[in-house]
Amino acid sequence: MSTNTPSQHHSPTQALPLTGRVAVVTGASSGIGEASAERLAALGARVVVLARRADRLAELVARIEKNGGSALAIAADVTDAAALRAAAARVEAELGGADLLLNNAGVMLPAPIEELAADQWQRQIDLNISGLMNAIGAFTPQLVRAAAARGVADLINTSSIAAQNIFPNFAVYSGTKAYVTHLSRHLRAELGAKKVRVSAIEPGIVGTELQSHVTDRGALDWLAGSKETMEWLTAEDVAETVGFIATLPPRVNLQQVTIMPTGQAA
Ligand code: NDP
- Does residue 1 lie within any of the structural domains? no
Q: Kindly give, in sequence order, each residue whose CB lies less than 8 Å from that of residue 213, ignoring residues fewer than 6 positions away.
A: 107, 108, 109
Ligand 1 pocket member 106 (CB < 6 A)? yes
Ligand 1 pocket member 205 (CB < 6 A)? yes
Distance of CA 239 to the CA centre of its chain: 8
Q: List Cα–Cα distances, 137 to 79, 91, 123, 238, 242, in angstroms.
A: 12, 14, 20, 25, 21
pLDDT digits (tens, 9 = 90+) for 29-85: 999 999 999 999 999 999 999 999 999 999 999 999 999 999 999 999 999 999 999
Ligand 1 pocket member 208 (CB < 6 A)? yes
> What's this model's pTM, rounded to 2 decimal places?
0.95
- Does residue 179 lie within any of the structural domains? yes
pLDDT digits (tens, 9 = 90+) for 236-246: 999 999 999 99
For residue 33, which atom of ligand 1 is closest to its CA? 25
245 C-alpha to center of ligand 1: Å?
20
pLDDT bin (cut points 50, 70, 90) of residue 195 is very high
Ligand 1 pocket member 33 (CB < 6 A)? yes
Pairing status of strand 196-203 against strand 22-26: unpaired
- How far is Cα 81 from Cα 175, in angstroms, rounded to an integer? 22
- Does residue 182 lie within any of the structural domains? yes
pLDDT digits (tens, 9 = 90+) for 121-180: 999 999 999 999 999 999 999 999 999 999 999 999 999 999 999 999 999 999 999 999
- Does residue 160 lie within any of the structural domains? yes
Ligand 1 pocket member 79 (CB < 6 A)? yes
211 C-alpha to center of ligand 1: Å?
10
Choose the catalytic residue: 121, 139, 170, 173.
173
- Does residue 122 lie within any of the structural domains? yes
Ligand 1 pocket member 123 (CB < 6 A)? no
105 C-alpha to center of ligand 1: Å?
4
For position 7, what pLDDT does the model report? 39
- Does residue 63 lie within any of the structural domains? yes
106 C-alpha to center of ligand 1: Å?
4
Percent of the chain scoring above 90 in pLDDT? 95
- Based on the structure, what is the number of domains in the chain? 1
Concerning whether 179 is annotated as a catalytic residue, the answer is no
**Residues listed for the chain:** 266
3-state SS track over the chain = CCCCCCCCCCCCCCCCCCCCCEEEEECCCCHHHHHHHHHHHHCCCEEEEEECCHHHHHHHHHHHHHCCCEEEEEECCCCCHHHHHHHHHHHHHHHCCCCEEEECCCCCCCCCHHHCCHHHHHHHHHHHHHHHHHHHHHHHHHHHHHHHHHCCEEEEEECCHHHCCCCCCCHHHHHHHHHHHHHHHHHHHHHHHHCEEEEEEEECCEECHHHHHCCCHHHHHHHHHHHHHCCCEEHHHHHHHHHHHHHCCCCCCCCEEEECCCCCCC
- Does residue 171 lie within any of the structural domains? yes
- Does residue 6 lie within any of the structural domains? no
What is the extent of the structural domain holding 41? Answer: 18-259
- How far is Cα 240 from Cα 260, in angstroms, rounded to an integer? 13
**CATH number, domain at 172?**
3.40.50.720
